[in-house]
Structure 1
Amino acid sequence: MNSISAISLSGLQAAQTRLNSSAHNIANGQTEGFRRLEVQQQTQADGGVSTQVDRAAAPGEALVTDVVDQLQAKNSFLANLSVFKTNDRMLGALLDAKA
């Protein structure tokens, strides 16, 4: 199993990928023939998450989907950041107690 830091870091990276993709979709949605970026997330057996970015099969925009995805990615980023910070504080407290 990966460390808690590694698991939360993979969540941070996945959320950043989702934010970047949805921002790209919003910025380019009005471009003729534009095919959206779609992010697939998959849990890893040893903890964490991996992402894959693909182009949509057909051109077109989905503004509501992209805005909702940005909000979900933001909340996911903040949750994983909180886990990362808490783990760091706990490790520091354990090291202080051991010394």
Structure 2
Amino acid sequence: MATSISSIGASGMQAAQMRLDASANNVANANTPNYRRQVVSQEAAADAAGVRATMQREQTAEGVALEKEAVEQMAATYAFKANLQTVRTQDQMMGSLLDVKA
């Protein structure tokens, strides 16, 4: 069970970091002609606990909306923090369990 909680949290943090990286790259290239935004899609990992994230380019070069990227960066930061808290809580629970067993 502990491994599942750790892998769920770790995969969530990796996905959130990927979202933040893609958004930062979009902002950096906002003025690049014909730039196609990077987007991250996430899905539940059927073969393992957690989430699988993949980065793709949008099909059309519609440009970058900075306000949309700011919201995406905030959402990715909150997702990272939530998954980090899951891992920390799991570590605390394991430490408490070891203290009880000792």
Smaller-chain TM-score range? Answer: over 0.9
Equivalenced residues, count? 99
> CA–CA distance in 2 between the matches of 1:19 and 1:95?
36
- TM score, norm. by length of structure 2: 0.90
Query: Within the alignment, does 1:54 sit opposite 2:53 as a pair?
Result: no
- TM score, norm. by length of structure 1: 0.93
Question: Which runs of at least 4 in structure 1 moved beyond 4 Å after TM superposition?
Answer: none
Q: Which runs of 5+ in 1 are unaligned?
A: none
Deviation at 1:62, TM superposition (A): 2.2
Aligned to 1:30: 31
Q: Which runs of 5+ in 2 are unaligned?
A: none
> CA–CA distance in 2 between the matches of 1:53 and 1:62?
18
Percent identity of equivalent pairs: 46
Aligned to 2:21: 20
Aligned to 2:72: 69
How much is the aligned-residue C-alpha RMSD, in angstroms? Answer: 1.3
> CA–CA distance in 2 between the matches of 1:39 and 1:79?
18
> CA–CA distance in 2 between the matches of 1:50 and 1:68?
22
Deviation at 1:66, TM superposition (A): 1.2
